[in-house]
Amino acid sequence: MDQTPRLRPGFRFQWEPVQNAHVLLYPEGMVKLNESAAAILSEIDGASTVTEIVARLEARFPEAGSLEDDVRAFIEDALQQHWIMMV
C-alpha cells in the first residue's frame, strides 16, 4: 500500500518568521508545527508517494536513521485530523 498524500484543499503550509516556525493554515485556524512535522509536510506535494517521502527525508537527515515508522505515524495522524488526504 503506497499512497500519495496531498494537503486538503484550503489548507496552506508556510513559514512564519515572527513565530520562527512553519504553520498549517486553514479556515479560521492555525497549527504551529514542530520541526519534524514541518519537515514531513514540506515533502507532501500531491505527487510523491509515502515511500518516496520517506526516502527523501532519510536523504535530508542521514543522521536520523530509519524514518519510515515516524513518517507513517505522522501521516496517519494528519489523515485523522483531516489535514491531508490521499490523492
* 5 strand-pairing partners: 86
18 Cβ contact partners less than 8 Å away, ≥ 6 residues apart: none
| Residue 3 cell numbers, joined | 499512497
Task: Give yes or no for a contact between 15 and 30, defined as CB atoms under 8 angstroms apart.
Answer: no
User: Is 19 near other proteins (CB under 8 A)?
Assistant: yes
Task: Give yes or no for a contact between 83 and 8, defined as CB atoms under 8 angstroms apart.
Answer: yes
Using only C-alpha atoms, what is the Rg of the chain?
13
User: Is 46 near other proteins (CB under 8 A)?
Assistant: no
In the complex, minimum distance from the CB of residue 57 to other proteins, in angstroms, rounded to a whole number? 26
Question: Which CB, 22 or 74, lies closer to other proteins?
Answer: 22
Question: Which CB, 24 or 71, lies closer to other proteins?
Answer: 24
Q: Which stretch binds other proteins (CB under 8 A): 14-22, 33-41, 48-56, 65-73?
A: 14-22
Binding site for other proteins (CB under 8 A): 8-12, 14, 16-19, 23, 25-30, 82, 85
